[in-house]
């Protein structure tokens, strides 16, 4: 490749890594996918051949979900995942302590699980996330939380589950995960039914593509547990979604988010 083209592609990749908030050393294989989708392209000219947007993902050793997401690409399940106003939106959270908090927004419509939105942030309180949910047009169903959401904070004496409740978010806490492999398998079972909004879920998708275990070159084996890095937050939240997505979610009725509640019903944050 001509040196100028090398520099152009490197600059473009760096710009999109910055957009996604990805560290270059932590994510050396951030793909050209986001650049190509934004440019409306289907491949990148290199020499006399073409590199498809999925080639880099396929080359990532130890990735848990790479092949399944390649299939989703091939089947055109990554692109538009339209919000269905008549169906509730479920959220699944990875709650960070001194770390990022990640939230997936999902709907079950017929046989499809639609990932319509994703949000991640760092260094802000739970009131910030409550406002993010409140400002969206969605009518919410379940808010799925990890087991440690009910652990009391030493500084306040209240758990994050209790704090969220005071902010209008009635969460459901999952039991502790005895084996992370069970959760990873739950994700693998769910992904073939998933449709993703490529734009709104861009960072979460890239994290799922790169979520992986390390390879010990000396011992020639993969580690038993996933690497903990920037991908962990989105991947953990998605694992909670796969474990906690309620049965019969598709048939839960939509309710006017501003309608008055009868006694005993939930807040505006739940259907």
Cα–Cα distance for residue pair 233/91, rounded to 1 Å:
14
Q: What pLDDT is recorded for position 21?
A: 46
Q: Phi-psi category of 110—alpha, beta or left, where left has phi over 0 and alpha has psi -120 to 50?
A: left
Distance (Å, whole) CA 178 – CA 147: 11
Pick from 100, 116, 98: which is nearest to 153 by CA?
Answer: 98
Q: Give me the chain's average pLDDT, please.
A: 77
Whether the predicted pLDDT of 64 surpasses 80: yes
Determine the pLDDT at residue 81: 92
Confidence of residue 216 (pLDDT cuts 50, 70, 90): confident
Burial letters for 12-47: b for 16+ Cβ neighbours within 10 Å, e otherwise? bbeebbeebebeeeebeebbbbbbbbeeeeeebeee
Question: Under DSSP, is residue 18 helix (H, G, I), strand (E, B) or coil?
Answer: helix
Instruction: Say how far apart CA 71 and CA 88 lie, in whole Å.
Output: 27
Give which of 224, 186, 227, 179 is closest to 60, Cα–Cα: 227
pLDDT score for 247: 67
**174-204: pLDDT as tens digits:** 999 889 999 999 999 999 999 999 999 999 9
DSSP per-residue codes, 88-113? -EEEEEE--SSS-EEEEEEEEETTEE
Distance CA 75, CA 192 (A): 10
- Higher-confidence position of 122 and 51: 122
The pLDDT value given to residue 122:
94
pLDDT at 267: 38
What are 196's two structure tokens?
């993703």
Q: How confident is the model at residue 218 (pLDDT cuts 50, 70, 90)?
A: confident
DSSP state of 217: T
224 Cα distance to chain centroid: 22
Classify the phi-psi angles of 62: left when phi > 0, otherwise alpha if psi is within -120 to 50, otherwise beta.
Answer: left
What digits encode the pLDDT tens for the residues 26-54? 443 333 343 333 333 333 332 222 233 34
State pTM to two decimals.
Answer: 0.72
């Amino acid at each position: 490749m001509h040196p100028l083209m090398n520099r152009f592609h490197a600059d473009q990749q760096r710009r999109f890594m910055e957009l996604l908030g990805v560290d270059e050393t932590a994510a050396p294989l951030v793909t050209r996918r986001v650049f190509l989708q934004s440019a409306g392209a289907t491949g990148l000219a290199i020499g006399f051949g073409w590199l498809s947007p999925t080639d880099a993902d396929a080359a990532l050793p130890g990735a848990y979900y790479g092949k399944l997401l390649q299939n989703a690409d091939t089947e055109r399940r990554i692109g538009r995942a339209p919000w269905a106003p008549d169906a509730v939106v479920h959220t699944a959270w990875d709650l960070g302590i001194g770390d990022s908090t990640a939230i997936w927004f999902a709907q079950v419509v017929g046989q499809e699980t639609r990932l319509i939105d994703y949000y991640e942030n760092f260094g802000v309180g739970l009131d910030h996330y409550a406002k993010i949910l409140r400002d969206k047009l969605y009518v919410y169903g379940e808010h799925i939380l990890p087991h440690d959401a009910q652990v009391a904070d030493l500084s306040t004496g209240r758990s994050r589950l209790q704090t969220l409740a005071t902010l209008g978010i009635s969460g459901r806490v999952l039991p502790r995960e005895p084996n992370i492999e069970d959760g990873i398998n739950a994700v693998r079972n769910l992904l073939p039914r998933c449709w993703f909004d490529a734009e709104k879920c861009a960072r979460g998708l890239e994290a799922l593509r790169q979520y992986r275990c390390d390879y010990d070159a000396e011992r020639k084996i993969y580690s038993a547990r996933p690497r903990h890095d920037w991908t962990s937050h989105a991947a953990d939240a998605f694992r909670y979604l796969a474990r906690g997505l309620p049965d019969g979610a598709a048939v839960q009725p939509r309710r006017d988010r501003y309608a008055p509640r009868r006694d005993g019903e939930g807040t505006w944050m739940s259907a």
